[in-house]
Structure 1
């Protein structure tokens, strides 16, 4: 039986083979629950509570696991039973996970389909709490030369200025661009504003000679391509 099912027990009361660290060694990290993984990072509980209880409290505080990505030191310390040392351990693990999930532009990641663009952007953008409008600048081989956040806030045509985007594209000697933005609601359905902005950028790119390949909307680990939907 998983330790996650019995959070009221102290670790010393759990059979040694069912303790998180021992199970990880024997069965691999993928076999552990989120609660057990966090418990390993926290290492110890308090005199009154088990480390599993503390781990469960962390999960309850942030509601969704991916919200931990944006946790601050102050937020974690505010959780009962979590001091500065434990909070620092959690933040270090979160930052390592963030760095591992992000594909590096230096590797010349190639975009062959809308899914490639979404796979590149989702790890960073799917859990953002505000809308971010991002542009990928590509070379003639559809390899990413540069990624830049153009603005943060609600999307509308008066805020997204083609000149800012295409000035950067010329500076980077980009052959084409892909635009993307996230919907904090988690639902990537395009709004009328999304479609209007896309058409405006498409027209500007045609005049300048730098093609807008796609506009991808990122939701909660899902996406919609406006090109695939016929808006381009």
Structure 2
């Protein structure tokens, strides 16, 4: 059984382009500029506050900035919470990228103390655990959208390549999800024999594997295709089915199974 280097680009390695910063749209502040109804004598009109708008119209009407404002609740004394939210989005580029943040990643942001950092991390972990719980209670063969959402949340915003294996039972429910390999921006060594060994040790009946492309482009490389076929054949020898290999981008997903295993 051979080992493979899984890459998202067969061209010579080069430094990745800088990730573009997201354009932050602060709906509440834009509303304040657009008409007198948002502010009354220098104060927010109650109906224009994010919390009240969420209660009346649902969370989808809020901007990313307002969602973060609601999570934070308030900034430290002397720091406007809207300014803190905009700085957060400016640093990470998007809410999606914030999901991969660790505690030290929030260092240096004025107006964000230890309690607020912990609060943000807790909210993000709740989102991950919620999807994980869904996957453990249903057949993933009938929930491809849940799988893709979970993997986008898990590895879609990672700055380096990560290869993950989802080990499933005979009813295609999740047994466990593990990182099988980590790499650089452009290259990652994946060892099929280790994935086969783990499948045997957790008594998996089938697998879904996935890796991300930090560039955002999800078209698989020739190395991705070779790895997929090698892993599929190796698992078949121990009577374990490879259900799919997904390539995860920031906004899209490529499925080898849907593409007919090219």
TM-score category (smaller protein): 0.7 to 0.9
Which residue pairs with 2:198 in the alignment?
Answer: 168
* Distance in structure 1 (CA, Å) of the matches to 2:118 and 2:208: 37
* Distance in structure 2 (CA, Å) of the matches to 1:87 and 1:32: 21
Which residue pairs with 1:62 in the alignment?
Answer: 92
How many equivalent pairs are there?
Answer: 231
Which residue pairs with 1:5 in the alignment?
Answer: 30
Which residue pairs with 2:140 in the alignment?
Answer: 110
Which residue pairs with 1:76 in the alignment?
Answer: 106
Which residue pairs with 1:148 in the alignment?
Answer: 178
CA deviation after TM superposition for structure 1 residue 213, in Å? 2.7
CA shift in 2, pair 1:167/1:187, >3 Å? same
The correspondence of residues 9-24 of structure 1 with structure 2, limited to 5 A, is 13-24=43-54
Which structure would you say has the larger RCO, counting Cα contacts within 8 Å and 6 or more residues apart? 2
**Pair 1:96-2:121 in alignment:** no
User: Structure 1 stretches of 5 or more lacking a match?
Assistant: none
Q: TM-score, normalised by structure 1?
A: 0.81
The correspondence of residues 17-56 of structure 1 with structure 2, limited to 5 A, is 17-45=47-75, 50-56=80-86
SS at 2:207 equivalent: strand
Q: Could you say what the CA RMSD is over the residues aligned between the two structures, in angstroms?
A: 3.2
User: Structure 2 stretches of 5 or more lacking a match?
Assistant: 1-25
**Pair 1:211-2:241 in alignment:** yes
CA contact (8 A) 1:137 1:177 kept: yes
CA deviation after TM superposition for structure 1 residue 141, in Å? 3.1
CA contact (8 A) 1:132 1:151 kept: yes
CA deviation after TM superposition for structure 1 residue 65, in Å? 1.4
SS at 1:149 equivalent: strand
The structure richer in helix per residue is 1
CA deviation after TM superposition for structure 1 residue 199, in Å? 1.7
* Distance in structure 2 (CA, Å) of the matches to 1:144 and 1:18: 43
SS at 1:135 equivalent: strand
Q: TM-score, normalised by structure 2?
A: 0.73
**Pair 1:201-2:226 in alignment:** no
SS at 2:140 equivalent: coil
- 2:258 pairs with 225, 228, 232, which one? 228
CA shift in 2, pair 1:130/1:10, >3 Å? farther
